[in-house]
Amino acid sequence: MAQNEVMTENESRPALIRAMGRWDLTAVGVNQVIGSGIFIMPATVALTVGIPSSLLPWVAAGMANALIVLCFAEAGTQFREAGGPYAYARTAFGPFIGFEVAWMMWVTRVVAQAALANAFALYVGRFWAPATEGSGRLLVVTLLLGALATINLAGVRYGSLAINFFTVSKLAPLALFLGVGIFFIEPGNFEGMFDLSGGTGTFGAAVLLLMFTFGGYELITIPASEARSPRRDAPRALLLTIGVVFVIYFLVQLVAVGTLPALDTSDTPLADAAEVFGGSAFGVLIAIGGLLSIAGSNAGSMLAGPRLTFALGDRGQLPRFFAHVHGRYRTPDVSILIYLGVAVALAYSGTFVQLATLSVVARIMFYMTTCAAIPVLRRRFEAPDDAFKLPGGMLIPGLALIVCIMILVNASAADIKGGGIALLIGAVFYLMAGGRIMAGGK
């Protein structure tokens, strides 16, 4: 067996400083995962399976993501350089699949960006009713995305400052909601919990939607080259992230179900529940917190998303104009503007639920490549002594792949078609780049 070449540092260039520990990586993961979805999904899942039963899909989604996380944990410990899912796919399956994974990561982000913009409009609607539909919704979406793009065009420093502000702002309202609401739960609201016939959809459809709220932990593996002990700390950080996030999400749904009888009809479920048990002022406070959290998720995506296509363009894996840098602000202006245009168009064309579902379909596609890469990497490369290895042979990667397929089965034909079209567009870009990709890019 050969040692995985990706694990070998390039001695000819300065290495990134290895300063991140387990808790730093966990903080990255929790910050990436907890975003706007939790401010909307409690009502959506309650509508899908019924209010009392809405805790159960969270458990299933948590278990599904735990299996996938375990695959990321093993794959990530075989690499000491940055790259994440793109690096795993490229090493296991070659440059084309690697490129498609990187491309689908961008697709996931831009579709999620559009979904988040619609979620923002729903919470603005609590203060200005026209924001939830028609021209009012389009105005809110355009102003939000345009403002964030302008900030990021002006410089990465401004974009990162915005993210730092929103990161603090998004955790505080959840802590307040749980800290107060846990004392007002009505046990009677949970009667009939195991009767799944009370909603408008299926259990599988609810799990599919909830995958949107869990996405983002894969980014823990990308800064592996800046961790002090990536093979030891990255797996622990992944597992800690999914555990912490699941507990928070489950408790939020518990409080929402236990305090808001009309949960399934709410556009702003956490704010409405907070108003029930804490009064109108508390409801307004949680609504403002929801707006800040959703804006923060949008800010993070607007910063990171365009830099994916910039990196691919810089390597020659996308047309060179994607790598254009603004002469004054030194930002990837063309990639930002393209990302903005696609996000706005998608936000105009669909609702939060429709776009969240499409984002999950795109995300599951590159999750599957990481799960499928495990046996290939095991066979092709000798794992380092300190690498994390899943017990049970192929049991966990196999179960993770089966779970991914089961989740995709619940997507609509239109969503699967949308994912397929995105893959085809990526293939066209790959062919346009030609031999530059085969040669490894720039």
Fold of the domain spanning 19-438: Amino acid/polyamine transporter I (1.20.1740)
Q: Assess contact for 204 and 364: CB atoms under 8 A.
A: no
Alpha-carbon separation of residue 14 from 9, 10, 11, 192, 286 (angstroms): 10, 8, 7, 61, 46
Phi, psi of 227 (to 5 degrees): -95, 145
Cα separation, 426 vs 429, in Å, equals 5
Predicted model pTM: 0.86
- Cα 51 versus chain centre, distance: 25
pLDDT, mean of each 10-residue run, the chain (442 residues): 44 49 71 83 95 96 95 81 80 92 93 93 94 94 93 69 64 90 96 83 93 84 59 80 93 98 94 96 93 81 83 84 85 91 95 93 94 91 74 91 95 92 92 59 41
Question: What confidence score (pLDDT) does residue 164 get?
Answer: 62
Question: What confidence score (pLDDT) does residue 222 get?
Answer: 59
The strand pairing partners of 2, in sequence order, are 381
Alpha-carbon separation of residue 405 from 182, 402, 409 (angstroms): 36, 5, 6
Question: What confidence score (pLDDT) does residue 36 get?
Answer: 77
Phi, psi of 439 (to 5 degrees): -85, 0
Helices (H), 279-332: 280-314
Q: Which sequence spans correspond to the domains of the chain?
A: 19-438
Q: Assess contact for 294 and 114: CB atoms under 8 A.
A: no
The residues near 77 (Cβ < 8 Å, ≥ 6 apart) are 230, 231, 232, 234, 235, 383, 384, 386, 387, 388
Question: What confidence score (pLDDT) does residue 5 get?
Answer: 42
The residues near 94 (Cβ < 8 Å, ≥ 6 apart) are none
Question: What confidence score (pLDDT) does residue 381 get?
Answer: 78
Secondary structure (3-state) at 243: helix
Question: What confidence score (pLDDT) does residue 245 get?
Answer: 92
Cα separation, 31 vs 58, in Å, equals 19
